[in-house]
Structures are given as structure tokens and as C-alpha cells.
Structure 1
Amino acid sequence: MVSIYQLKSRFQQGLRPLLGTLVKLGIRANHVTLFAMLSSIGYGLWLWRDAGSPLPWALLPLFLFLRMALNAIDGMLAREHGQQSCLGGILNEAGDVVSDAALYLPFALIAPTPLLAVLCVLLAFLTEYIGVLGPMLGASRRYDGPFGKSDRAFAYGLGALLLAWNPGWAVLADWAFAAASALLLFTCANRARAILAEGDKRV
């Protein structure tokens, strides 16, 4: 299934020159993971406080790109510099869902039906939970689309730009969240199907 996640390897190559500098500065993967989560919470609080201002919405795509870069960097530091740990795995998975909630729940403030925006966040949690179940069931961690983490960041970033440009776009938010919910359910099904297929092959 086509997903922006498939561009991850190229994205990582562009960030790799930074790794040596971070290691020399004593910055570890867990430091990056915590910074990404805490900064996401801070940005989300800004969105809640100033939801009527175009500035936080206009800058959200830039912040989402930064968050994606931080997520890639912490993974590369862990794998390529011997920093993998159980704590790091917990922080990585928990940090992603906490950051998603912090950054995406403020969209409920502009949606005609706020519960649809909340539903999308809950379904995003479900997609990641199913993905994490892979190793527990004899399969790999699944990142299948069509609406994985990177795809969601792109969609929310685009929505934020539209809101910053013209707040009137908010009247269409329910349709966008309904479509996103359908894509998230499809993503859940794809990940579950991939885990089952991979697990069956190993039996």
C-alpha cells in the first residue's frame, strides 16, 4: 500500500550527517525522543490557547516536519550507535501517540463536530497499537498505510495551512475527518492482515 513512509530511507540519508555531531555533544536517542514529545505537547498547548489565530496553524507543517526529523534521528542514533534499550522502545512508541494527541486534538476546536476529530486521534492510536502487536505475534512491527504516521502528518499539515490561509475551510472539517476515519480503519485492517500473513508463514 502506497505511503509516505516509503520515503523514510531517503529522508534518513539526508539527516545522517547530523548524527556524528549529536554523538560528540553527548546527545542520546532517548534525549531526542523526549524532546520531540515535550515540544509536541508545548506546541499543542499553543494551538489550544490560540486556535483562533492563523500563526500556530501556519507554522504547524514546519513543526510536523521537524518532529518527523527528530523521530528519524532518534531511531538512527539507537540503531547505529548502540543506544537501543527497552526504555527507548517504550519512549518511542508512547511518545508518538502522546505527540499525536497533543498536536491533533486541537483540531476539535475548529471542527463542526468535534467528536469526529477526537475519533481520528483514537483510531490513530489503534493503528499504532496493531502495528506494535506484530512482534508479539511472531511478525514484524507493521507500518503499512494508507494512513500511517507520516501520511497523517502530511494531511494535518495541509489542513493547518488551509485553516491559516482561510479559517472558512473549517466548515469542511467534518468531511475531512470522516474520510480520515475511513482511511485509518483501512490502515488497521492492512496492518492486521499483514501480521496474520507474516505470522502464518513462520508457523
Structure 2
Amino acid sequence: MISVYQLKPKFQQLLRPLVNGLARKGITANEVTVLAMLLSVITGVALVISNSLVSLLALPIILLIRMALNAIDGMLAREHNQQSKLGAYLNEIGDVISDLFLIIPLIIIPDISLWLLAAFAFTALLTEFAGILGVMVGAERQYQGPMGKSDRALVLGLIGLLVPLFAVSSIYLNAALTVFTALSVWTVINRIRAAL
């Protein structure tokens, strides 16, 4: 199944010089993981408090930074011998918290369905849960799409751009949330099948 996640190797290649420099300076993978989570939490809270559609333009920028930080922490862990049990917990919990805090700001969009937004957030959590459960059944961590973390970042970033710039109707946004939720359910199924 096609997913933005498949672009990860090229993204990592671009980041490798930065990662090597951070490792030389003693920056750890866990520090980067916590930074990514804090950035997402602060952004989400700030966007809700601002209650301004224009502020949603920050979403694509923050999401790109978050995805870079996610790639960097993984590369630091794998390529610079920083893997740890604490890091695994921080990575998985940090991703879930970050996702929630970057989805929640969409509540400021007039007439957006809170039920559909909640369904999208819930199924986003399920995709990550299904992914990590692969390890419990003797398989690897599962990353299949079509609505994994990278894909969610892409669609949230697009919403952050389109809503303030083009005043997209809530009818279209609610339809999109329905599709994203269905794709998330499909992702959960794909991950369970792959692990089994």
C-alpha cells in the first residue's frame, strides 16, 4: 500500500550530515524525541488558544519539523548506538501525544464535525497501537499505510494550508475526515495482517 513513509530513506539521506553533527556534539536520541513531543504539545495548545484560522498556517511547518526530528531520533538511536528501552517508550508515547496535540487544533475550524475529528484522532491512535503490537506477536513494528504517521502529517499540513488560504468549506473537510478515518481503519487492518 502506497504511503508517504516510503519516502523515508531519501529524507534520512538528506538529514544524515545533521545527525552526524548532533551525535558529535553529544545530543541524544531521547532528547530529540522529547523535543519533538514538546514542540507538538506547545504548538497544539498555542493554536487552540489563538483561535485563529490564520494560525493554522503554522501546522505544515511544525509537522515538517516534527517529521525531521522523528527521523533524526531514529537515526541517532540506530546509527550511533543510542537504542534503549526508555527510548522505545518515549518514541511510541511521544508519537501518540504529538498526533493528538496536532489534530486537536482543528476544532477551531467553524462547523467542523467534532465527532469526525474525534474518530480521526481515535483511529490515528489505533494505527500506532496496531503497529507496536506487531512486536508482541513476534513480528516487527509495523509501518504500513495508507494512513500512517507520515500520511497524517501530510494531510494535517494540507488542511493547515488550505483552510486559511482558500476558506475550504466544512462540508469538504468533514468528507475528508471521513475518508481519513476510513483509511486509518484500513491501516490498522493492514498492520494486523502483516504482523500475523
TM-score after normalising by structure 1: 0.92
**Unaligned residue ranges in structure 2 (runs of 5+):** none
Give how far 1:173 is off.
1.7
CA contact (8 A) 2:142 2:191 kept: yes
Q: Aligned letter for 1:94? A: I
Matches within 5 A, 1:102-113: 102-110=101-109, 111-113=111-113
Q: Mean Cα displacement is larger for which, 5-14 or 16-25?
A: 16-25
Which residue in the other structure is 1:155 paired with? 155
Give how far 1:4 is off.
0.7
Give the Cα separation in 2 of the matches to 1:87 and 1:7: 27
Give how far 1:59 is off.
2.1
TM-score after normalising by structure 2: 0.96
Distance 1:109 1:53, change over 3 A: closer
Which residue in the other structure is 2:80 paired with? 81
CA contact (8 A) 2:52 2:108 kept: no
Matches within 5 A, 1:13-162: 13-54=13-54, 56-110=55-109, 111-162=111-162
Distance 1:167 1:51, change over 3 A: farther
**Unaligned residue ranges in structure 1 (runs of 5+):** 197-203
Give the Cα separation in 1 of the matches to 2:135 and 2:121: 23
Give how far 1:24 is off.
2.3
CA contact (8 A) 1:28 1:77 kept: yes
Matches within 5 A, 1:165-176: 165-176=165-176
Please provide the CA RMSD for this pair. 1.2
Give the Cα separation in 2 of the matches to 1:168 and 1:136: 42
